[in-house]
């Protein structure tokens, strides 16, 4: 669904640009003598307000620029939809299986509770040891 939305959005945007370019270039070529701001404004307004008629006219006249650019727009939209929705793991994204970043991992209990650093015990025992260690620090002051 996401790919289809991206494809449609990119294709509509590029296709609207293709319609404008494909319709404006022949008009400019036919009216080289009468080029003015009013001409561009009128031509652009006609193309933008009537895109379906413009597309029908471009297809009926078999405008090669329109046909080639529309084919390119289709391929570019497909490529954009595939690239923007590809599943790439970001640098800091958590691995679903390991729940860790990069080469880091969760510690095992025997690595945490060693005799030198941490001691496993009940809540009351740990709280008692904490109070004892805090009272020692107050005595040192």
Q: Is the pLDDT of residue 2 over 90?
A: no
Give the mean pLDDT of the chain.
81
User: Of how many residues is the chain composed?
Assistant: 141
Q: Is the dihedral of CA 30, 33, 37, 42 positive or negative?
A: negative
Alpha-carbon distance values, 71 to 11, 18, 78, 83 (Å): 10, 10, 11, 19
- As a whole number of angstroms, the distance between CA 18 and CA 15 comes to 5
pTM assigned to the model: 0.56
Encode pLDDT of 25-78 as tens digits. Answer: 888 888 888 788 888 888 889 888 998 999 999 999 999 999 999 999 999 999
The residue assigned the tokens 């319609």 is 19
Supply the pLDDT for residue 59.
Answer: 92
Q: Is the pLDDT of residue 98 over 60?
A: no
Encode pLDDT of 104-115 as tens digits. Answer: 667 777 666 666
């Amino acid at each position: 669904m996401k790919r289809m939305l991206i494809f449609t959005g990119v294709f509509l945007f590029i296709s609207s640009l293709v319609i404008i370019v494909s319709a404006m270039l022949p008009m400019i070529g036919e009216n080289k003598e009468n080029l003015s701001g009013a001409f561009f404004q009128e031509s652009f307004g006609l193309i933008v307000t009537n895109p379906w008629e413009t597309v029908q006219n471009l297809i009926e006249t078999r405008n090669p620029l329109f046909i080639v650019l529309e084919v390119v727009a289709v391929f570019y939209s497909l490529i954009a939809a595939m690239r923007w929705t590809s599943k790439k793991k970001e640098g800091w994204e958590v691995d679903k299986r390991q729940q860790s970043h990069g080469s880091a991992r969760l510690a095992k209990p025997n690595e945490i509770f060693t005799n030198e650093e941490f001691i496993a015990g009940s809540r009351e025992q740990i709280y008692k040891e904490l109070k004892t260690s805090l009272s020692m620090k107050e005595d040192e002051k």
